[in-house]
Amino acid sequence: MKDVLLAIESSCDETAAAVIDRNRNILSNVVATQIELHEPFGGVVPEIASRAHLERLVPVVDRALRESGAELGDLSAIVVAIEPGLVGSLLVGLSAAKALSLALDVPLVTINHVEAHLYACGLETDREPFPAIGLVVSGGHTNLYDCRSPVEFELLGSTIDDAAGEAFDKVAQILELGFPGGPVIEAAARNGDPKAFAFPRSMLNDPRPLLSFSGLKTAVLYTVRGTPGSSAEVPPLTDQRRADIAASFQAAVVDVLVRKCEQALRQGNRQRLLVGGGVAANGVFRSALADLSGRTGCEVLISPKEYCTDNAAMGALGWARLERGLVAGLDADVVPGLVRKKSTE
């Protein structure tokens, strides 16, 4: 008999399930992405997302069990992300998790998706992730946390407008590069000059842990299409110009993220930084974080690349909650809205 849990993730546009043992070894990690469904719209369409979760969840759970070698009877708990996210999407995962928990008579453990992104930084490493400052940087979130333990996260601040990943997605649309924006901009930027355009870096002089990316996005838009009211001619969007804009945009995002992390570390008097979420897959960002560590001596734990974008392996957080007796009832509900300021035991 194995001692494993099944984690389910359906908060946005990936349907995912993973089987994880008590030592946080990921025995299987299945992700069915919906990128192809949302691509024509340049962003996630909530109604399409929840319908796709409904179709895919059972096959994804089946596959996760098969690939792990575990049987339903081996499961010690069912873990599911209930916040934050799209209400319809979250409900599909939670309903499935409740059904499994009831049928198998095992505990239901609910987790916060954003906190799970941070917990993922401790996977596949022997290093202790807590306490730390945490940055979750994805399509839906750009949040800074004080992370005291796996079950105590305090939101310090976040973006006041677009999430960094959202800015990547919108700029990719402006540059006609496709969706999702992060990987295509990173690829285009490889042939570009990050100093070609001096794009704005907002909020750097603001001592608060707040970020902003909408001014940067607008600056890119005006560079590509021209400034409204200006008669200045806009150069054609050649491949080289596109690459230069992509590289300069990426450099601006990375610069802001790294400097805001550095500020939060200093203010919070922490020596360790956790970075998770889809944008943490970005290679330029990862090496800038390594430089930050070298420069300041603080320890930086970045989520392993395969656990940056949405997945259920980060549901390993469920073990930390289960071990502390933090189990949910069958009356658990989803919390689609904004991230709570404080989550403690």
Considering only 84, 88, 93, 182, the residue that binds ligand KG4 (CB under 6 A) is 182
| Closest distance of CB 158 from Zn ion, Å | 14
Measured between alpha carbons, how far is 290 from 132 in angstroms, rounded to an integer? 16
| Closest distance of CB 228 from Zn ion, Å | 34
Measured between alpha carbons, how far is 141 from 114 in angstroms, rounded to an integer? 8
Q: Does 169 bind ligand KG4 (CB under 6 A)?
A: yes
Residues 138-167 close enough to bind ligand KG4 by CB under 6 A: 138-140, 165-166
Residues 244-283 close enough to bind ligand KG4 by CB under 6 A: 277-279, 281-282
Q: Does 192 bind ligand KG4 (CB under 6 A)?
A: no
Considering only 78, 186, 312, 320, the residue that binds ligand KG4 (CB under 6 A) is 186
Q: Does 180 bind ligand KG4 (CB under 6 A)?
A: yes
Looking up tokens 């050649």, which residue turns up? 238
Q: Which of 70, 118 has the CB closer to ligand KG4?
A: 118
Measured between alpha carbons, how far is 203 from 201 in angstroms, rounded to an integer? 7
The token pair that represents 198 in the structure block: 């001096």
5 contacts 77 by C-beta, under 8 angstroms: yes
Inter-axis angle of helices 239-268 and 283-296, nearest 10:
40
Q: Which of 10, 138 has the CB closer to ligand KG4?
A: 138
248 contacts 192 by C-beta, under 8 angstroms: yes
- Reported for 287-291, long-range contacts at CB under 8 A and 24+ positions apart, including other chains, are 288/254, 288/255, 288/257, 288/258, 289/258, 289/261, 291/258
Q: Which of 21, 166 has the CB closer to ligand KG4?
A: 166
Q: Which of 76, 202 has the CB closer to ligand KG4?
A: 202
Closest residue to bound ligand KG4 by CB: 182
Residues that bind ligand KG4 (CB under 6 A): 12, 138-140, 165-166, 168-169, 180-183, 186, 277-279, 281-282, 309-310
